[in-house]
Structure 1
């Protein structure tokens, strides 16, 4: 296994930079002295050491480094008989390191300190060519520092944008997963609650019927409701195994059922009637309705009938479905107890409200004056991009 070397950051990088720069400068000074035929100057070595030591605190005390290292470089040229050009590395490293951490003021301070010190020195012994060369070097070093600072700022911005984009993708993925879980939960609740309620009612009826013919009819209703439950559960759970759907269909030989549509409302009503509830269906033909709207209308009617069977004690229900401009209006009225004044909105009512709201529609439910309970919703025929017709 390949092991990557540890990265130097913060004060460790500053310390390593100071040690390396100091070693290079102190090692080069005897070479320049030998080349010029002069002895090695102890004050010159001290200035190089002080300037290199100033680099060790550039991350924590940038302005101290911006003053100490350039000043040490200028003092070196005042006391050193060898006059080695390597001392300019002190200023170059100082400016580049300050620019790398984004300290533009520190870069300007280092260049200005050098310029002021050079002007003072030139005031004592002026040399025009030397002054021009020093100013040219300062311009070059300052330009290098600005280039490094701009590049690092660009890289930091790119990294920040990438991090923001990644967070955005993660948040979007979590949001989509949450919406999908909520949608599947609504589907499972609507499918299971309705059909299990019918099965429970028919099973209770079969227990108390002594006529074999009546018991047989109740069992037939139970069989039909359970078959419908399995079919719709398979259709809903197919979303959870989308990747294996094609292989599963080939193996099992039976495709998943399509989503319920308005054409299946009579079938839904008949199953509810089998549970002993009188249901009147008043449904007009509504054209140009998207698949999401058809599913929402079907599920709202289904859940309203489930509540009528389970909770209201109703004997009769009227289901209304009709076109209303560019929307479909659905209503379910029962003659039950109406839920009482302390009606609690459970999963069923909340699910119906969420279905309508998700498609840009409206929903209301509550007791009626004079008794009974009413569920009403108005859902656009083609919300958003409309979806595909079933």
Structure 2
């Protein structure tokens, strides 16, 4: 068996020279990496070029010791040219102006001067760039008129180079701003997409949390009450055990478990549907309210149900269903034994109004707060409605009222159902 040696991934290919040049042009000079090192190398290269020009060209006399010192002093500030470019230009211009005044080689310091002007043009405002260029050209004209009146043609040529360098720097500056604005818009769009994705995930998690709370809290509460009924029947009078009542209580528990399992399975199927991420499954509606009332009856409540609405939007119908479901669950849990609950749902003036009232004591203020009331308010807000919940004005019982926007109904249907708890035993 031959041993296999792990293969190392190929090294990333280096960008081409043209790509590196465009990257350097597009990048903000104040944020360029290794700026000081690169500028130091640039200053050394420019000084070497100036020395060669001073030694091997005949454009003024060859520099003496003072001239070399001035030439070096005019190139040294370029090593920090990106830090305060205007001050840097002044430090470059002062020794170079003295270098020209002493009639040393006039071509030698020109590249350094152009680099300093280009730095101002690419980092400063247009007004400051033009003011600097005008000052340089004006001082050049004055000095040339005093020291070399015959060299006006050469001065005009240098002036043209100055103007060209300044406008090139301005153009590069605007181009960098344009590229930066494109990058900023792309980053802003990406952040917007990420925030939208996070918002959708948060909304979906909240929706799933509400669905699971409404389903499990309602079913577990009914099972708990039905189990208590069965236990009471078994222990109330062992000598006269009502087997039919016990069997009915256990059948009710089994039916509640089957219903909860079916709803939970539907919820999980929606969550697992990868091909249809926006699928919400079949939404409950107002037609399921009688089943909720029947489930509350199995838990021992007397429910009076009145529905006067038809053809409401699916989202509004689902919100109303879940609000009534949670309100009945709270009534069965907190209103005491055999509570009387009134549920009214009606559509009028473009709104669906519902109320759930009971005659019990309501939730214990000292108990642990749950998510039921919060979930009901979120359900109402999700369709643009409002919900109020609290003790009734008379001091007895608890009331939940909600107003959900819905189209006005021309022919509302009326369904009135009274479901009373059957006493066991």
Which has more helix, going by share of residues?
1
Q: Counterpart of 1:243 in 2: which secondary structure?
A: coil
2:52 matches 1:52: no
- Structure 1 runs of 4+ aligned residues shifted over 6 Å read 3-8, 340-345
2:112 matches 1:87: no
Q: Alpha carbons of 1:55 and 1:106: their partners in 2 closer, same or farther (altered >3 Å)? A: farther
2:12 matched residue in structure 1? 2
Do 2:307 and 2:346's aligned partners in 1 also have CA atoms closer than 8 Å? yes
Uncovered stretches (5+) of structure 1, i.e. residues with no partner? 247-254, 384-390
2:139 matches 1:139: no
1:225 matched residue in structure 2? 256
Do 1:70 and 1:90's aligned partners in 2 also have CA atoms closer than 8 Å? no
Q: Which moved more, 1:105-114 or 1:316-325?
A: 105-114
**By how many angstroms is 1:193 displaced?**
0.5
Structure 2 residue aligned with 1:171, among 182, 195, 217? 195
Q: For each residue in 1:216-260, what CA deviation from the matched residue of structure 2 results, as whole angstroms up to 9, or x when unmatched? A: 1111111111122122223333443231679xxxxxxxx996221
2:331 matched residue in structure 1? 308
RMSD over aligned CA atoms reads: 3.3
Do 1:74 and 1:114's aligned partners in 2 also have CA atoms closer than 8 Å? no
| More RCO (CA 8 Å, sep 6+) | 2
1:279 matched residue in structure 2? 303
2:319 matches 1:296: yes
Q: Counterpart of 1:322 in 2: which secondary structure?
A: strand
TM-score normalised by L of structure 2 = 0.77
2:188 matches 1:161: no
Q: For each residue in 1:249-304, what CA deviation from the matched residue of structure 2 results, as whole angstroms up to 9, or x when unmatched? A: xxxxxx996221111111121111111111121112412x2211111000000000
Structure 1 residue aligned with 2:217, among 185, 193, 216? 193
Do 2:316 and 2:383's aligned partners in 1 also have CA atoms closer than 8 Å? yes
2:266 matches 1:235: yes
Q: For each residue in 1:196-234, what CA deviation from the matched residue of structure 2 results, as whole angstroms up to 9, or x when unmatched? A: 100111111112223222121111111111122122223
Matches of 2:283 and 2:44, distance apart in 1: 77
Structure 2 residue aligned with 1:30, among 42, 49, 52? 52
2:96 matches 1:98: no
Q: Alpha carbons of 1:102 and 1:359: their partners in 2 closer, same or farther (altered >3 Å)? A: farther
Matches of 2:34 and 2:126, distance apart in 1: 22
Do 2:39 and 2:81's aligned partners in 1 also have CA atoms closer than 8 Å? no
2:404 matched residue in structure 1? 379
Q: Alpha carbons of 1:123 and 1:82: their partners in 2 closer, same or farther (altered >3 Å)? A: closer
Do 1:111 and 1:142's aligned partners in 2 also have CA atoms closer than 8 Å? yes
Q: Alpha carbons of 1:256 and 1:44: their partners in 2 closer, same or farther (altered >3 Å)? A: closer
Count of aligned positions: 373
1:388 matched residue in structure 2? none
Matches of 1:214 and 1:58, distance apart in 2: 95
